[in-house]
């Protein structure tokens, strides 16, 4: 079973070929550089850039594999959630190929693709506990099977990646913020600035990062005379200390709520042994090492995709396509791209599960 995966839901135009033997045959990722100066992704610019590059990215993916398009068994495309212009470009390309090649089409939920990637790269078994943390989403879920998720908690405002991006923007570090903050943090003192841990004491598994971001803004403002953060005079060490303190606060919040979720996971799925982190923020090595430590203490197996497969890519879409194809889960060509597409829309809620932002 060989599946072509197409990703275009945010600022990566990507394609990959993956088979059911867990082999990545070929992968191409183009990260759009057009957004750097804006401190975030501009949807209209992203959609145009996807349209401009999607064909060559798919062609390049086949060329690198020395394969012809007719050798695939199915076409999978990220069909949401995401920026609708970009998603539509990828879905249209996927449907057109499926129609021309007379192969089945698979509409992949971008979040499901993040969620399942660790099963491609490690031996992760259903059911498992997932911390899904990216630029647009931050959720804790039980993954029972393909298409079957129970959401235990979610952010009630910003996603963790969004907070990384906004703090980086305030510090003038550019976009995407996560990798820059992580780099700066290695030089900083994580205990220098006292930052809040929003929702830390709430009994549920929900998260919140908006207040944390505001607290960082206040610190930066204290380095100005006029309260305009662009006028802040920060030494490199101050910046590094802010980054380290912020990264620690985010990590503390994620770990604390994941620990609560482990309790629910154990009660709901006593046979479950695996904990997975996925999504762009899962590329953060500080977070990964703390999660690994916590899982070891809890007697659970920790897995994370390799760093290159944490941020958006075609491999994750192709692999989700493989998981769906082996179960015969195909979609009609009239499937409509979905800007919002909660993972747990068909699943029963666990006791105490949160549910605010899809």
Each residue 265-304 as x (binds ligand KG4 by CB under 6 A) or -, in order, gives --------------xxx-xx--------------------
**CA 85, CA 171: separation in Å to the nearest integer?**
30
Of residues 32 and 268, the one with the C-beta less far from ligand KG4: 32
What residue 177 binds from Zn ion, ligand KG4, none (CB within 5 to 8 A, per partner kind)? Answer: ligand KG4
Read off the tokens for 82. Answer: 């995401």
Which residue of 312, 318, 337, 338 would you call a contact of ligand KG4, by CB under 6 A?
312
- 339 interacts with ligand KG4 by CB under 6 A: no
Site for ligand KG4 (CB under 6 A): which residue of 104, 176, 305, 337? 176
Treating both helix axes as pointing N-terminal to C-terminal, what angle do 160-170 and 236-268 enclose, rounded to 10 degrees? 170
Residue 353: count other Cβ atoms within 10 Å of its Cβ.
23
Residue nearer to ligand KG4 on the CB measure, 72 or 87: 87
205 Cβ neighbours under 8 A, 6+ residues apart: 140, 152, 153, 257, 258, 260, 261, 264, 352, 353, 354
Residue 27 binds ligand KG4, judged by CB under 6 A: no
DSSP state of 153: E
Least CB distance from residue 161 to Zn ion, whole Å? 9
- Which of 57, 311, 331, 342 is in the footprint of ligand KG4 by CB under 6 A? 311
Question: Between the CA of residue 238 and those of 218, 235, 248, 261, what are the distances in Å?
Answer: 14, 5, 15, 35
Whose CA is closest to 152, among 196, 207, 200?
207
- DSSP for 97-136, please give it: HHHHHT--EEEEEHHHHHHHHHHHHS---SSEEEEEE-SS
* Position 312 contacts Zn ion (CB under 5 A): yes
Look at phi and psi of residue 102 and say left if phi exceeds 0, alpha if psi is from -120 to 50, else beta: left
Alpha-helical runs (H) found in 102-235: 110-121, 160-170, 177-185, 210-221
Distance CA 177, CA 158 (A): 14
Instruction: Decide: is 165 part of the binding site for ligand KG4 (CB under 6 A).
Output: yes
Q: Is 344 helix (H, G, I), strand (E, B) or coil?
A: coil
For Zn ion, which is the closer residue by CB, 10 or 72? 10
Q: Does 80 bind ligand KG4 (CB under 6 A)?
A: no
Is 177 one of the binding residues for ligand KG4 (CB under 6 A)? yes
Find the shortest distance in angstroms from Cβ 345 to ligand KG4. Answer: 18
Residue closer to ligand KG4, measured from CB, 293 or 308: 308
CB of 180 to ligand KG4, least distance (A): 8
Smallest separation (angstroms) from ligand KG4 to the CB of 197: 17
User: What is the contact surface with Zn ion in residues (CB under 5 A)?
Assistant: 134, 312
User: What is the contact surface with ligand KG4 in residues (CB under 6 A)?
Assistant: 10, 134-136, 161-162, 164-165, 176-179, 182, 279-281, 283-284, 311-312
């Amino acid at each position: 079973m060989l599946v072509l995966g197409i990703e275009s839901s945010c600022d990566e135009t990507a394609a990959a070929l993956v088979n059911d033997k867990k082999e990545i045959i070929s992968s191409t990722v183009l990260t759009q550089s057009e957004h750097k100066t804006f401190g975030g992704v501009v949807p209209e610019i992203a959609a145009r850039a996807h349209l401009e590059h999607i064909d060559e990215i798919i062609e390049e993916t086949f060329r690198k594999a020395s394969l012809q398009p007719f050798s695939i068994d199915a076409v999978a495309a990220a069909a949401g959630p995401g920026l609708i212009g970009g998603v539509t470009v990828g879905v249209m390309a996927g449907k057109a190929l499926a129609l021309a090649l007379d192969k089945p089409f698979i509409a992949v939920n971008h979040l499901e693709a993040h969620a399942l990637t660790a099963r491609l790269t490690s031996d992760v078994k259903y059911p498992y506990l997932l911390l899904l943390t990216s630029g647009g989403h931050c959720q804790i879920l039980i993954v029972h099977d393909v298409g079957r998720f129970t959401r235990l908690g979610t952010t009630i405002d910003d996603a963790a990646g969004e907070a990384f991006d906004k703090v980086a923007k305030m510090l003038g570090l550019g976009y995407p913020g996560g990798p820059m903050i992580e780099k700066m943090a290695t030089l900083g003192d994580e205990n220098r600035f006292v930052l809040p841990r929003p929702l830390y004491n709430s009994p549920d598994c929900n998260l919140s990062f908006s207040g944390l971001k505001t607290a960082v803004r206040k610190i930066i403002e204290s380095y100005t005379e006029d309260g305009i953060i662009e006028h802040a005079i920060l030494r490199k060490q101050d910046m590094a200390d802010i980054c380290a303190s912020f990264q620690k606060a985010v990590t503390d919040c994620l770990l604390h709520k994941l620990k609560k979720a482990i309790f629910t996971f154990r009660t709901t799925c006593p046979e479950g042994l695996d904990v997975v982190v996925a999504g762009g923020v899962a590329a953060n090595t500080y977070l990964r090492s703390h999660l690994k430590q916590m899982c070891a203490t809890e007697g659970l197996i920790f897995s994370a995709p390799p760093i290159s497969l944490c941020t958006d890519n075609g491999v994750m879409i192709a692999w989700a396509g493989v998981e769906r194809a082996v179960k015969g889960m195909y979609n009609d060509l009239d499937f409509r791209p979905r800007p919002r597409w909660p993972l747990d829309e068909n699943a029963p809620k666990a006791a105490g599960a949160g549910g605010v932002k899809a």
